[in-house]
Structure 1
Amino acid sequence: MNKLTVVLVDDEPLALRLLQSMLEEHQDLDILACCRNGREAVQAVSEHSPDLLILDVQMPGINGFDVVRSLQADTMPLVIFATAFDQYALKAFEVHAVDYVLKPLDPRRLETALERARQRLVQMRSEGEEGNQEEKKRLMRSFEERGNNSNPSAESAAAHTASQRLAIKDRGSITMVTQQDIEWIDAAGDYMCVHAKGETHVMRSTIKDLQKQLCPNLFKRIHRSTLVNLNFIVHIKVLTKGEYFLTLSSGAKLKVSRNYRLPIKEFLDFNKQASLTTPQTS
């Protein structure tokens, strides 16, 4: 039986021991390290490459979110936040946390979080294998096309076809996300949060490098840290200072800064059916 490897992080010794004792009852878990602060957590993840990181949010020095931001994409484990404060829940899921468990810890609620981590890990490994197989098939098709057709336009078409899928690497696995399914993308430090089909995929990249991989006809930069797929825009609110607010089909709301308003203005001019509201002051 493959065990789920775990690193625990909490600056309160009693809370850390309680969490450890609760997890030791699970025979499918292997606790690799118990850390008392964020620095120890970053070092433990780097040394052990665990499947799962269970950590507190509020810690002196490096807090829980700082720990996540400090990790490299290829060593990023699944994350469950365990904290006494509920106000960080939204931010936790924005960094792709598996779950957010409140203290005092309830064994049943903790088990639910662990089960989600188990399922996510199985899914990641499955998608990684499928992604690798698909990538091999794509490369074989590319080699065959180059061998049978030396026409530069044919090679360009093949490259364009390959570019319609975005490869998101995470801990040795690769998730292939169809570009047309990506609704919007926002930057979080050195990472990009790719929102597609109700899920958020996290990849290490700059927004400029990622934009080069995306179809320019679909994706437009609307802020220094945001890209949007034009096909998902369902409502546009125009403000008097030259800014816009976009509502996407999922209900997500994005602000368009004045420096990046031109693509949306062109989109409005092209699509006369876009829904506009009366200009308002911000």
Structure 2
Amino acid sequence: MHKLRTIIVDDEPLALNLLRAKLNKVPEIEIIAECKNGREAIEKTMDLAPDLIFLDIQMPGVDGFGVIKKLQSDIVPLVIFTTAFEQYALDAFDVHAVDYILKPIDEERITRAVSRAIVRFETEEETEHKSRIIGAIDTINERENSASSSQSSQGQSSLGQNKGNLEHKIIIKDRDDITLLKQADIEWVDAAGDYCCVHAQGVTHIKRSTLKNLLDDLDPSIFKRVHRSTIVNLNYIQKVIPHTKGEYFLKLGEYDQVKVSRNYRDVIKDFLSDW
């Protein structure tokens, strides 16, 4: 029997202890790490490459959604959220096939979620995990701000008329806000299906766009594709770390680390040869 290598994450010690105790009774689960915040969850996921993560949503600092946004699509494991969210958010999870356990946690809900995780582990591509979650987040944001959607569309239309003056900026509609993001501030971009996670100045913006379309709008002299799902701004590379099988990791800031696949390693070699 294959055991799912699992990380559990919750900022409340009692909740973490309860989750551990219940998962220890599930023979298909092997707990390999416990984390008390989002930063630890990101670091442990990068280091240990788990099969599954039980992830609390409401945490100070980097919350559960923030953890997913910060990870490249092929690094995101299967995710089961533990949450006390309202029903409208759970409806969005159901639509996008995102697994969750409502708090207070009971063994029946854990058993059901683990059974689903085993099936998905055996049948799904890794890149599907992040795409489903980002889609659910986008749906939640839309429902929270449905009353102001007409005003948002009017503002976006007005900005579109002046697009000729915005060649060095990216337009991102996030909830009822429209952000004009300077390209120079963008550190890296990760694709998740029909969405892109645009990471800039410690904030992750969700933009509805394919990676190819977004790449066409970015300055090709500083933005390079380093993975089938990832673009980096060369100006933010702080360290290049060799990895196995000809791959690399790029350290882009205090917390962000991006994997370079073998197919794109020449991009980094050319970048290093210019120094």
Please give the TM-score of this superposition, normalised by the length of structure 2. Answer: 0.47
Q: Structure with the greater relative contact order (CA < 8 A, sep ≥ 6): 1 or 2? A: 2
Please give the TM-score of this superposition, normalised by the length of structure 1. Answer: 0.46
